[in-house]
Amino acid sequence: MRSLRSVLAIAVVSAIAAACSGGGSSPDEEPTTGTAAGALDLTGSWQLEEGAGPGGAVEIIPTARITMEVTADGEVRGSAACNTYLGTVVVDGSSVEFGPIATTRLACAPRPGAAEAVYLAALDDVEAGTRQGDELTLTGPDTELVFTLQG
């Protein structure tokens, strides 16, 4: 009798655990951050090689490089030529949308400050992306940003 109770108790606990696990989100659910299955992979540390946005060309300054690091859970951070920035990105297929971007507020020299303003406006304009090997291109109506994967 005691072993029958033990078997029944294990079966009930197993059934409850299986029901509570849920197996993840439904296929119709929109991702809130990060990447959906089969989506463009932005994960990694990237360096801007060339770019332009609604404010014109992004000047590439060797002593004030623009970088972007994207984590698997959709966090984005980097250096915007002068200040550091932090935010989120959602990728669904080849569609890319950056959430609000927060930056530090250091006083910048004119050239890095201008490059930073154009870059951040370009990130806000991004709607899609493509990746070929170690090259990532983010595009929008008035934007094209080309990055290379670092290390």
Entry pTM: 0.76
Confidence of residue 37 (pLDDT cuts 50, 70, 90): low
Q: What's the half-sphere exposure (Cβ side, CA atoms, 13 Å) at 101?
A: 26
Q: How far apart are CA 39 and CA 35, in angstroms?
A: 6
Range name among 6-10, 66-70, 77-81, 88-92 with the lowest pLDDT average: 6-10
Residue 26: which region, alpha, beta or left (left: phi > 0; alpha: psi -120 to 50)? beta
Is the pLDDT confidence value at 48 over 80? yes
Please report the pLDDT score of residue 1 as a whole number. 42
CATH topology of domain 34-149: Lipocalin (2.40.128)
